[in-house]
Structure 1
Amino acid sequence: MVSARRKAIESLYKGECTIKEFQSVKDPNTHITTNKEVTVLEEQKCKLSFEKQMSSTKTNAPAIIAQSTKLFIAPEINVKAGSKIIVTQNGRTNEYSRSGEPAIYMDHQEITLELFKGYS
């Protein structure tokens, strides 16, 4: 049974994601194994959160501004390191990869993302 707190958290999810992994796949006809991108999950409700971080060092150089991106998703989803995560939210679609270990809570998990640059 889904808790009321989890329902409340998931009511904030405004995006959907697709998770893809680079896996070894054996062709049933040729029996040759090749590495291919495989979709492991589609249309999973989620939410992206963005946070700007500024450096605050006292130098003559301009402040450095960075943005961190965090994905909120159901706690039972297993997102492997190196997976490609395609998120559509607010009419925009971007590709990310998991950059850190997820913080798993009772009703959700938070995964730090970075823009996808290729499979590692």
Structure 2
Amino acid sequence: MVSARRKALETLWNGSCDVIGWGEVEDPVTHISKPGELILHQGLKCKLSHKNISATSQTGAGAILVQQIKLSLGNEYEIPAGSKVIVTQNGKTAAYKHSGEPAVFMDHQEIVLEIFRGWA
């Protein structure tokens, strides 16, 4: 059963995401397994948010601006570290990489993402 808090959160989630992992994929014709992308979850309701963090250095080199990208979604989904996350929100689609552990709350989880630059 979904709580009232969760329903309220979901009204703010205007995106959807697909979660893709890397593993052994069987070719449907030859039935030979080879490494490839596996779809773990599709069409999950989510919200992508951005936060700019600036830090100054003691060397006088100037401020460094870092953007933190955070994905909020239901806490019932297992999103393994290293997964590729494709998010569509506000008419734009982008690929990200999940690194690290999610912050799990009572009604949702938050995952810090990075721009996907390829499989490690």
Q: One fold, TM greater than 0.5? A: yes
Q: How far has the Cα of 1:84 moved from its partner?
A: 0.7
Aligned: 1:56 with 2:56: yes
Deviations 1:38-59 (A, max 9, x none): 2221111100111101013354
- TM-score, with normalisation over the residues of structure 1? 0.92
- Number of equivalenced pairs: 120
Q: Give the whole-Å Cα distance in 2 for the aligned partners of 1:40 and 1:66.
A: 29
For structure 1, list consecutive stretches of 5 or more residues without a partner in the other structure. none
Which residue is 2:93 aligned to? Answer: 93
Identity %: 49
Q: Give the whole-Å Cα distance in 2 for the aligned partners of 1:28 and 1:17.
A: 26
CA contact (8 A) 2:101 2:111 kept: yes
Q: How far has the Cα of 1:62 moved from its partner?
A: 2.1
Aligned: 1:111 with 2:111: yes
CA contact (8 A) 2:72 2:109 kept: yes
- TM-score, with normalisation over the residues of structure 2? 0.92
Which letter maps to 1:5? Answer: R
Deviations 1:74-118 (A, max 9, x none): 001111111110001111111001022001111000001001111
For structure 2, list consecutive stretches of 5 or more residues without a partner in the other structure. none
Q: What's the RMSD between the two structures over aligned residues?
A: 1.4
CA contact (8 A) 1:83 1:119 kept: no
